[in-house]
Amino acid sequence: MTEPAVILSALSALGSAALWACLLATLRHFRGAPQAPCRLPMTLIRPVRGLHDGLVEALESLAAADPLKSLQVVLSVEGEGDPAYPALEAFCRAHPDRAVEIVRAGPPGARMGKIHNMIAALPRAARPFVIFSDADARISRALLADAARAFEAGADSVHSAPYYVPPRGVGEWLYAAAFNHVGALPAALSWRLGVFFSFSGAFMGYTREALARLGGLERFEREIADDAALGLAARRAGLRQELLRAPAFVRETGTSPREAFAHLAKWAAIVFWVAPAAWIALPFLSPVLLALAALGLAARSGSGAAAAAAALAGALASRVLVAWIQDRRVGGYRLGLGSYWRLALLDLGGLLLWPFGLRRVVSWRGRRYRLFPGGRCAPIET
């Protein structure tokens, strides 16, 4: 029987090859987005809670991306007591010539807070194509134009891969690794293979007819991950989905290492309760972790060390080079190659996050929720 260390080394080599396959699909896909201003009548709904880092910049990106002023923007917030409300009012005052309004959604009750704001805003959408976009997402002209292109070509729903802005510290590197080099990396290949799963609230759009076919947003009011629930339901319904050719750039609030770890630990729990198979598989999809496991087994058994060492060298080189090329070509980064040594450490850090997926309770947007199989949730009143 083949030594376990050699098997793990071979699996690590396959994982490294998969990184390059993902990169190739990504480079082919994320190019050629139209640059002409968007003319299609669309509504963008942005649920907001709290004063996010960069909220004003994210709001102003909506105006910069829409020079023709064809986009209706509906900003949905629970009420005037939200700390973000003055910034929303200031944005409306700064653009009196645009179709921009604020919806006061009121308390969410038993609903998940974010989709509650979306539900309250949807009746104000005056256009046949509706985009939902998180408060921290920066919208580009190319992203709006590509959404219009996809809708005009017959897509029922459109989705953009969220891409973290250039990281500046340890906490932001945690986010960048999760968003860019775990979430966004396989998006294009999975879409090309027909198993697309990278649904994200950073930027997702549906035709009004598609939302009606899905039973409306109210059907998803108790889902902890409304974006994934909507996307998976659309796929089951046979709706035509398209991954857009431009990313949606994001920057999370709370970027200290402790805050970033807590945020990603929350998402580990959400992934477990929404898609447990993905949570179980995640550590086994890292070529770096597989090679390290092979090296550990080789050290104990005294055989297979050469194969394990070669696999580890290949995994580390692939992880760094793939991320560096992807960031330069997709994200427009100009970080030095030496900056990416952190990814190897972050892969190890992922093992610390993994057990947090077993938690049953998470905090989100100022409320605590109890999670149930399939991603259903219920608020915990205090």
pLDDT tens by residue, the chain, 382 residues: 468 888 999 999 999 999 999 999 999 999 888 888 888 999 999 999 988 878 999 999 999 999 999 999 999 999 999 999 999 999 999 999 999 999 999 999 889 999 999 999 999 999 999 999 999 999 999 999 999 999 999 999 999 999 999 998 888 999 999 999 999 999 999 999 988 888 999 999 999 999 999 999 999 999 999 999 999 999 999 999 999 999 999 998 888 989 999 999 999 999 999 999 989 988 888 999 999 999 999 888 877 788 999 999 999 999 999 999 999 999 999 899 988 988 877 888 778 889 999 999 999 877 899 999 999 999 997 6
The pLDDT value recorded for residue 2 is 62
> What are the beta bridge partners of residue 229?
none
Same domain, 208 and 347: no
Residues 102 and 153 placed together within one structural domain of the fold = yes
Residue 65 lies in a domain: yes
CA–chain centroid gap for 378, Å, is 23
Long-range contacts of 263-267 (CB under 8 A, 24+ apart): 263/175, 264/174, 264/175, 264/178, 264/353, 265/353, 265/356, 265/359, 266/356, 266/362, 266/363, 266/364, 267/178
Q: What is the count of structural domains for the chain?
A: 2
Same domain, 180 and 316: no
Are 162 and 40 contained in the same domain? Answer: yes
DSSP reduced 3-state for 41: coil
**Same domain assignment for residues 310 and 244:** no
The answer to whether residues 184 and 332 belong to one domain is no
Neighbouring CB atoms inside 10 A of 215's CB total: 11
57 in a structural domain: yes
- How many CB atoms lie under 10 A from the CB of residue 43? 22
Q: Write out the two tokens for 18.
A: 């998969």
Q: Is residue 374 part of a domain?
A: no
Do 336 and 222 share a domain, yes or no?
no
- Whether residue 267 is found in the same domain as residue 279: no
Do 187 and 282 have their domain in common? no
Write down which residue in 271, 297, 332 finishes a domain: 271
**Looking at the structure, do residues 62 and 121 belong to the same domain, yes or no?**
yes
Helices (H), the chain: 4-29, 55-64, 85-94, 113-121, 141-152, 170-178, 187-192, 208-213, 226-236, 257-274, 276-281, 287-301, 305-326, 342-353
Tell me how long the chain is. 382
Does one domain contain both 11 and 54? no
Residue span of the structural domain in which 280 resides: 4-26+273-358
The pLDDT value given to residue 331: 92
Question: How far is the CA of 223 from the CAs of 110, 211, 372, in angstroms?
Answer: 11, 16, 9
Distance of CA 375 to the CA centre of its chain: 16
